Amino acid sequence: MRFTKTLIPTMKEVPSDAVTPSHILMLRSGMIRKLASGIYEWLPLGKKALNKVEKVIRELHDEEGCLEVLLPALLPKSLWELSGRWAEYGAELVRLKDRQGREFCLAPTHEEAITELAGNYIKSYKDLPKIFYQIQTKYRDEIRPRFGVMRAREFIMKDAYSFDADGKGAELSYDRMFALYKKICAALSLKAVPVLAKTGLIGGTKSHEFMAPSDEGEEELVYCRCGWGANQELAHSKISAAKAESAPWREDPRPLEEVSTPGVRTVEEVSAFLKMPEEKFIKTLIYRTAEGFACVLVRGDHSADPAKLRAIIGEDARLADEKEIEEITGGPLGFSGPAGLKIKAYADNTIKYCSNMVSGANKKDAHIKNINYPRDFEAEFMNIRTVKAGDPCPECGKALDVARGIEIGHTFYLGTKYSEKLKASFTDKAGKDLPIEMGCYGIGVSRIVAALISQNHDDKGIIWPRAMAPYQIEIIAASSNGPAMEKAEEIYEALSKKYEVLFDDRDVSAGIKFKDADLIGIPVRIVLGPRGMKTGECEIQSRADGKTEAVKLDKILEKISDFT
């Protein structure tokens, strides 16, 4: 493709509303254009990258025996009422009426539609198993669209659905799709980690997120090289009595002792004042919940994870203010503790095994030493703390890694949640009518393009993995006319027969061409200049590592394969 014949509107300046590298680079390289909040147009360069991702996903699903369909994006309210999600989904569901006043939604996902389809055609155990998939535009009315195509209101997604006769078959289908997702990530040159996740509005009994590690990620993932992983909301670590950090719970209980701590409130301050390690303290956080006041207890060197907390005490819970704390505990902010408190207490699992701990005395300028469970307080124990890098893996005991990640895929074991409600059943060998067992599997196609850029860029621009680049080779003539341009034309015609080539034939300075080439990030660059024309050479450059090699013009067709 000639640069002058396509549309690649590169930008010098960083757009004001773009803050993440992938969003900035997709706009600056002319891959996408913002039409409205959370709605983007895919321009020729971006669409080529998108097509590459779709091609890999489609080919690997077809190899696995999955059946491609295309379902409507406009779905009737009646279908979503059968599943109960018309009321459950909330404001993110884009709802509309036709001219007859009938209500519809723009599909954010297709569990209802595919279950209705399967229910009409799958009648016998002989029709099972089946896996259907589609690549289609989805819609969600995000309250705050951000990060470009990462969190948009309109996005392209691959969704697949498995149908089986029993739980054993459904588990096998789940495992097949799980393995397929790993294969897809490898083929896309995308680093991704599967982690345990909540099922959310999709539902079911088991799910995994496929997370691409990146500083741009909105979620935190915890994972181990043994293969175990979970997002932070579900993550936990192994409590090992053999570890040095376990020392706080390896003592015989001692009597309670109140100590004066004038003017020191935080764990850090009291730890320094009493000359005791922070792991010997219990942080006591007072919350106002929908059911009244409650306290949350975590070890002094740990922190409570916000997502885990919301799941325990409710989305609307808030930290109590100073006046409320004094009314509930009898002491001011900074001096709360579990001993003697008469409100519901939720404690992290690590606290249960600690001994002779320190916390506030629920009075001004005082703390209590030697607090022990269950002698001195009652609590409901659960997984509350934020797991930290280096904590022991719950499976193998080795050190865990913690990173931010972009969710690029999600798998769900649905069971019969949708098939029972939408009457999708089959007749088994004994003639009994049974609901179909289901699974569903989503991949964010447009999000993968952004995730690839997030993982592969530098301060100059994108560095495309070779398999996923919009073009494999870019040809640049340093001068806009003369022998270099003529030779570039010749090389372009020859290479285009075998490779995807972008030929920068614009009448602009060499500096502009080189800056745009760095920004666009095509893996291999062929540069022809006046000096090379005299020596009969050109330069072949690698965008990834900067490797440059002078090559005789009559050897380009031979040498280019070493770079591609």
Does some domain include residue 395? no
In Å, how far from its chain's centre is CA 480?
A: 44
Peptide bond preceding 392 in cis form (omega within 30 of 0)? no
Percentage of the chain modeled with pLDDT above 70: 98
Does some domain include residue 91? no
Does some domain include residue 539? yes
What pLDDT score was predicted for residue 246? 47
According to DSSP, the residues that pair with 476 across neighbouring strands are: 504, 527
Maximal C-alpha separation, the chain: 93
What's the chain's average pLDDT?
A: 93
My answer on whether 58 and 160 are in the same domain is yes
Contact 564, 472 (CB under 8 A): yes
My answer on whether 253 and 378 are in the same domain is yes
Contact 42, 48 (CB under 8 A): no
Phi, psi of 335 (to 5 degrees): -125, 25
Reported confidence tier of residue 242, pLDDT bands at 50, 70, 90:
very low
My answer on whether 262 and 378 are in the same domain is yes
My answer on whether 444 and 545 are in the same domain is no
3-state DSSP helix/strand/coil % of the chain, to nearest 5: 30, 30, 40
What pLDDT score was predicted for residue 479? 84
Question: Domain span at residue 368?
Answer: 244-382
My answer on whether 162 and 280 are in the same domain is no
What pLDDT score was predicted for residue 243? 44
Spell out the residues 6+ positions from residue 45 whose beta carbon is closer than 8 angstroms to its own. 6, 8, 29, 30, 31, 470, 520
What pLDDT score was predicted for residue 240? 46
Does some domain include residue 205? yes
Boundary-marking domain end, from 353, 382, 411: 382
Strand 473-477's sheet: what is its strand order?
501-504, 473-477, 524-528, 537-542, 548-552
Phi, psi of 358 (to 5 degrees): -120, 140
Strand 357-360's sheet: what is its strand order?
257-260, 366-371, 357-360
My answer on whether 359 and 276 are in the same domain is yes
Reported confidence tier of residue 511, pLDDT bands at 50, 70, 90:
very high
My answer on whether 272 and 366 are in the same domain is yes
| N residues, the chain | 564
The average pLDDT across 377-406 equals 93
Q: What is the pLDDT of residues 225-241, one digit of tens each?
A: 999 999 998 898 886 43
Q: Which amino acid is at 385?
A: R
Question: What CATH number is associated with residue 260?
Answer: 3.90.960.10
Boundary-marking domain end, from 382, 410, 441: 382
pLDDT at 168 over 80: yes
Contact 519, 460 (CB under 8 A): yes
Reported confidence tier of residue 249, pLDDT bands at 50, 70, 90:
low
Please give the helix or strand (H or E) that residue 111 lies within, else none: helix 111-121
Which two structure tokens, joined as six digits, stand for 36? 């409205």
Does some domain include residue 261? yes
My answer on whether 181 and 57 are in the same domain is yes
Question: What CATH number is associated with residue 497?
Answer: 3.40.50.800
Q: In terms of Cα–Cα distance, which of 374, 339, 352 is closest to 258?
A: 339
The average pLDDT across 34-50 equals 97
Q: What is the pLDDT of residues 101-147, one digit of tens each?
A: 999 999 999 999 999 999 999 999 999 999 999 999 999 999 999 99
My answer on whether 179 and 216 are in the same domain is yes
What pLDDT score was predicted for residue 379? 95
Domains in the chain: how many in total?
Answer: 3
3-state secondary structure 191-235: CCEEEECCCCCCCCCEEEEEEEECCCCCEEEEECCCCCEEECCCC
What pLDDT score was predicted for residue 557? 87
What pLDDT score was predicted for residue 532? 82
Reported confidence tier of residue 205, pLDDT bands at 50, 70, 90:
confident
My answer on whether 260 and 179 are in the same domain is no
Does some domain include residue 139? yes
pLDDT at 306 over 70: yes
- Within 10 angstroms of residue 316's Cβ, the number of other Cβ atoms is 9
Handedness of CA 494, 497, 498, 499 (dihedral sign): positive
Question: What CATH number is associated with residue 115?
Answer: 3.30.930.10
pTM of the model: 0.88
Does some domain include residue 325? yes
My answer on whether 411 and 350 are in the same domain is no
Q: How far apart are CA 156 and CA 62, in angstroms?
A: 19
pLDDT at 558 over 70: yes
Does some domain include residue 297? yes
DSSP calls for 8-41: ----SSPPTT--SHHHHHHHHTTSEEEEETTEEE
My answer on whether 250 and 206 are in the same domain is no
Handedness of CA 546, 548, 553, 556 (dihedral sign): negative
Boundary-marking domain end, from 382, 413, 444: 382
Which two structure tokens, joined as six digits, stand for 21? 């590298």
The average pLDDT across 40-51 equals 98
pLDDT at 244 over 50: no
Q: What is the pLDDT of residues 250-303, one digit of tens each?
A: 688 999 999 999 999 899 999 999 999 999 999 999 999 999 999 999 999 999
Reported confidence tier of residue 57, pLDDT bands at 50, 70, 90:
very high
pLDDT at 439 over 60: yes
